[in-house]
């Protein structure tokens, strides 16, 4: 018997009808630690999260939270993540494969934090967004192995090898949809809270192939976010300044930025919930 679910049911019944709230977490690599701050505030303020949709690092953070639904455990899990935990670079991989890193380390990290196999067994409905490299189309992964789905969603082209699945080559969802608000709407969300952790695309320090690839992805992501973010009911944009996509040294700064941005957004979130109830 799940006491939390029972208490939640009676609480919602007492308050009346509740909107289905979706949390959409965008991509941005190491800047994704801001998502933890967002989730912490929502949890503290008892803002229910009925589904999580994530692209790239948003899928990683979202999947861990969807498994345990505990922001403090999420913080411990995410803060243990370092670059060497996810980047399994190799000369052979770089010259003979389709990416500098295999992605096996990332998949193993997810398995170590989420000791269940399939997405459908997570406590909160979850979907990871990837890109079909052959067709150039968005792919929504909401069933099957969760670690594999996260790996596919995070597979930055040229950095990670694409993930082969059902005859498709899957890469980072940010190529086509870095803030997948429409996926949440398609799944019946009444209110969508989206988190944009994108960076300023101005970069005067591009000096190697790796940085060229990252900058290209950032430009593509920034352009599709301009349009798709408008579809969110509430958009949270943490002030992350020039924190780099691969800068794992500023985890606390990113989390604090997420906390502050969400606190500022709380009135808008509560207004949306109240308006839905009135309607």
Active site residues: 56, 172
In terms of Cβ atoms closer than 10 Å to its own Cβ (0-12, 13-18, 19+), residue 149 is buried
CA–CA gap between residue 127 and residue 65 (Å, rounded): 12
Give 89's DSSP letter. B
**Which pair of structure tokens corresponds to residue 116?**
């269940």
Longest Cα–Cα distance of the chain, Å, equals 61
CA–CA gap between residue 178 and residue 130 (Å, rounded): 9
Work out the number of other CB atoms within 10 angstroms of the CB of residue 215.
17
CA–CA gap between residue 23 and residue 125 (Å, rounded): 11
């Amino acid at each position: 018997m799940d006491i939390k679910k029972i208490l939640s049911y009676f609480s919602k019944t007492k308050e009346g009808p509740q909107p289905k709230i979706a949390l959409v977490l965008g991509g941005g690599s190491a800047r994704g630690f801001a998502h933890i701050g967002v989730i912490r505030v929502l949890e503290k303020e008892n803002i229910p999260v009925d589904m999580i949709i994530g692209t790239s690092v948003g899928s990683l953070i979202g999947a861990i939270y969807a498994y345990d639904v505990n922001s403090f455990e999420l913080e411990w899990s995410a803060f243990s993540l370092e670059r060497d935990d996810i980047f399994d670079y190799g000369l052979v991989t770089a010259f003979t494969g389709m990416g500098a890193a295999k992605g096996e380390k990332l998949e193993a990290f997810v398995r170590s934090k989420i000791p269940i196999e399939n997405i459908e067994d997570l406590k909160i409905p979850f979907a990871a967004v990837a890109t079909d490299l052959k067709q150039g189309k968005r792919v929504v992964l909401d069933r099957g192995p969760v670690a594999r789905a996260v790996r596919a969603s995070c597979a930055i082209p040229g950095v990670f090898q694409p993930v082969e699945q059902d005859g498709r080559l899957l890469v980072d969802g940010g190529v086509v949809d870095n803030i997948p608000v429409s996926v949440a709407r398609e799944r019946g969300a009444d209110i969508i809270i989206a988190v944009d952790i994108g960076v300023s695309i101005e970069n005067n320090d591009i000096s190697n192939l790796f940085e060229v690839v990252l900058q290209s992805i950032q430009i593509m992501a920034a352009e599709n976010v301009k349009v798709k973010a408008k579809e969110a009911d509430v958009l949270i944009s943490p002030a992350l300044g020039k924190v780099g996509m691969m800068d794992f040294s500023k985890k606390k700064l990113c989390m604090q930025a997420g906390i502050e941005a969400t606190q500022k957004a709380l009135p808008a979130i509560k207004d949306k919930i109240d308006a839905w109830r009135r309607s």
